[in-house]
Structure 1
Amino acid sequence: MNTSRRNAIKALGTVAATSIAGGAIANEHLIKPKVELKNNIKHSVCRWCYGSIDFEELCQGVKDIGMASIELTGPEEWPILKKYGLTAAIGWGAWPKGTGLTNFFANTKNHEVLIPFYENLLKQASENGIKSIICFSGNRNGMNDYEGMINCATVIRKLIPTCEKYDVILSMELLSSRNSHRDYMCDHIDWGVSLCEMVGSEYFKLLYDIFHMQSMHGDHIRNIRRFGKYINHYHTGGMPGRNEIDETQEIYYPAVVEALIESGYKGYLGQEFIPKAKDKAGMLASLERCVKICDV
């Protein structure tokens, strides 16, 4: 499965619309999950990894596993999540034309369109009980790290009053520029933390993608302990290849999750691996296995 976020967000808009039009499962059947989890950490899953599953069926499957969130979902999907007693640990939207992972805050030409876009998205998030929205640095495109950091900080500071008004955190994702996101600027924990300090607000934090940061520098447990106050969300993924997070992969997730819990982290852990199975039952079974690995 070669699905990427860049393609997934386009496809999922159609899936969301189909789900809204489809029949709903009665709420009285959704009261109690079938799986009992320890829930020392809150469990979430990224929608794009399960784009082939009807959204309402995914909601029911996630509910049955005992999870609380389907993330990287947008305004069209948030009311459906509510119906199933779920939330989006971190939301996103259909970015303005011409913007996206590779072309975002670091490019000052985007600021005029991204500010009103986020002002509206933050408002919608608040109305639906969503507490965090994702954002990106975009690529370097010849900029040095300091120039890109200033450009990002400039637009983020302009959005902070809106974040405060609606009580929603803006969270920039750390991605690997060594592998899957060549030239991406926010590619190292030190750069991300420096940006947080430059912005100077509790309403701007980092999304620490463990899979991507394994590619860049590893050292996750020490990073959690040193920089946890700057991070409000984490993603999983087997390394190499974004595979299921089992014993065949180089990251030992139980130890990482133990460190998260010990640090006092109260947020969500978002599963973002590509399931081996292609059928709905197999995909949800792999999700349940990986959630249990992290349910320490």
Structure 2
Amino acid sequence: MKTMKLSAPDWCFFPEGADPDTYYRKLKAMGYSGVEMVAPERWQAAKRAGLEIVNLSGPGMTDGMNRRENRQKLSDEILRMTEDASKNGIPYIIVFSGNRGELSDREGLENCLEGYSALLERMKGSGVKLLFEMLNRFDHEDYQADTETFGFELAETLNSGDFRLLYDIYHMVRGGCDPLQDLEKKLPYIAHFHVASLEGRKFPEPDGAIDYRAFFTAVPEGKFNGYVGMEFFPEDSERDLARAAELFLSYQRN
């Protein structure tokens, strides 16, 4: 992987009470080119700093598209978000499966297929895409898409350029998946990565249980053009973001 675009989600890094213009200018100077899940009142500040707002977090993490009774409400809400995203040049909305409950994985998958297929049809022409996220079952108890298998089957079956995966390496390793297995087959469906250490979802140290240098070195040149998002619990936001940028940008040079 010869080029790497870095992003940082506001939910874990934007300090409470901070001046948005100052924060985003510092982020840009560190080497970040995108921000994620930004509150609408800060959109213009992020843009002024020259940062792309990469995504918005959609609804349905627990009461999700895997249940038919949720379909209309979720679709309407995502369509309202799509309108705002389209007007503001935000390319992705993050979406989810919902919690499993009594549903089998097959039933939940089929419901997601029906729901997202219909929603994608209604989103056509907006310029906004859906970014489906898988989450581990330990941090998100009972979440249905708790391994990569669910997400890749969903993306492959939908077979739409407007539906891609947010592959959080921490979540997938925690859930027992091997991110490097069949990597080249996975990459066409992945539009975004998130990273964190396996040890407590903290700073992704170079000597941690997940070898991010090895992973991103294994990504073939030209096979991934999305963002690598830092999504971990920092001890000090500014210090850890600066250090993360330096570390991950070094991976593209080795």
Fold shared, TM-score > 0.5 on shorter chain: yes
Query: 2:50 is matched with which residue?
Result: 85
Query: 1:5 is matched with which residue?
Result: none
Does the aligned pair in 2 maintain the 1:225–1:259 contact within 8 Å? Answer: no
Q: Which of the numbers 243, 246, 251 marks the counterpart of 1:289?
A: 243
Does the aligned pair in 2 maintain the 1:205–1:230 contact within 8 Å? Answer: yes
Does the aligned pair in 2 maintain the 1:243–1:275 contact within 8 Å? Answer: yes
Query: 2:80 is matched with which residue?
Result: 120
Q: Per the alignment, do residues 123 and 261 of structure 1 end up closer, same or farther by CA in structure 2, a change over 3 Å counting?
A: farther
DSSP 3-state at the match of 2:140 = coil
Does the aligned pair in 2 maintain the 1:135–1:172 contact within 8 Å? Answer: yes
Shift of 1:103: 1.4
DSSP 3-state at the match of 1:130 = coil
Whether 2:35 is the aligned partner of 1:62: answer: no
Shift of 1:158: 1.4
Whether 2:128 is the aligned partner of 1:174: answer: no
DSSP 3-state at the match of 2:7 = strand
Query: 1:131 is matched with which residue?
Result: 91
Map residues 67-78 of structure 1 onto 2, 5 A cutoff: 67-78=32-43
Q: Per the alignment, do residues 241 and 290 of structure 1 end up closer, same or farther by CA in structure 2, a change over 3 Å counting?
A: same
DSSP 3-state at the match of 1:269 = strand
- In structure 2, what is the Cα distance between the partners aligned to 1:223 and 1:57? 42
Q: Which of the numbers 234, 248, 271 marks the counterpart of 2:193?
A: 234
Does the aligned pair in 2 maintain the 1:125–1:168 contact within 8 Å? Answer: yes
Does the aligned pair in 1 maintain the 2:28–2:51 contact within 8 Å? Answer: yes
Please state which structure has a larger fraction of its residues in strand. 2
Query: 2:217 is matched with which residue?
Result: 258
Does the aligned pair in 2 maintain the 1:44–1:69 contact within 8 Å? Answer: yes
DSSP 3-state at the match of 2:180 = helix
- In structure 1, what is the Cα distance between the partners aligned to 2:245 and 2:183? 20
Q: Per the alignment, do residues 274 and 261 of structure 1 end up closer, same or farther by CA in structure 2, a change over 3 Å counting?
A: farther
DSSP 3-state at the match of 1:222 = coil
Query: 1:50 is matched with which residue?
Result: 13
Q: Which of the numbers 196, 209, 213 marks the counterpart of 2:168?
A: 209
Query: 2:108 is matched with which residue?
Result: 148
Whether 2:178 is the aligned partner of 1:219: answer: yes
- Which structure has the higher relative contact order (CA within 8 Å, separation 6+)? 2
- In structure 2, what is the Cα distance between the partners aligned to 1:70 and 1:223? 29
Q: Deviations over 1:6-42 (max 9, x none)?
A: xxxxxxxxxxxxxxxxxxxxxxxxxxxxxxxx98110
| Aligned Cα root-mean-square deviation (Å) | 1.9
Q: Per the alignment, do residues 263 and 212 of structure 1 end up closer, same or farther by CA in structure 2, a change over 3 Å counting?
A: farther
Whether 2:69 is the aligned partner of 1:109: answer: yes
Give the share of equivalent positions with the same residue, in percent: 31
Does the aligned pair in 1 maintain the 2:67–2:111 contact within 8 Å? Answer: yes
Structure 2-normalised TM-score?
0.90
Does the aligned pair in 1 maintain the 2:31–2:245 contact within 8 Å? Answer: no
Query: 1:249 is matched with which residue?
Result: 208
DSSP 3-state at the match of 2:164 = strand
- In structure 1, what is the Cα distance between the partners aligned to 2:6 and 2:201? 18
Q: Which of the numbers 146, 155, 159 marks the counterpart of 1:200?
A: 159
DSSP 3-state at the match of 1:88 = strand
Equivalent position amino acid for 2:144 in 1? M
Query: 1:183 is matched with which residue?
Result: 142
- In structure 2, what is the Cα distance between the partners aligned to 1:258 and 1:248? 15
Gaps of 5+ in 2: none
Does the aligned pair in 1 maintain the 2:47–2:53 contact within 8 Å? Answer: no
| Runs of at least 4 residues off by over 4 Å | none
Q: Per the alignment, do residues 39 and 258 of structure 1 end up closer, same or farther by CA in structure 2, a change over 3 Å counting?
A: closer
DSSP 3-state at the match of 1:288 = helix
Does the aligned pair in 2 maintain the 1:253–1:293 contact within 8 Å? Answer: no
Equivalent position amino acid for 2:32 in 1? M
Structure 1-normalised TM-score?
0.78
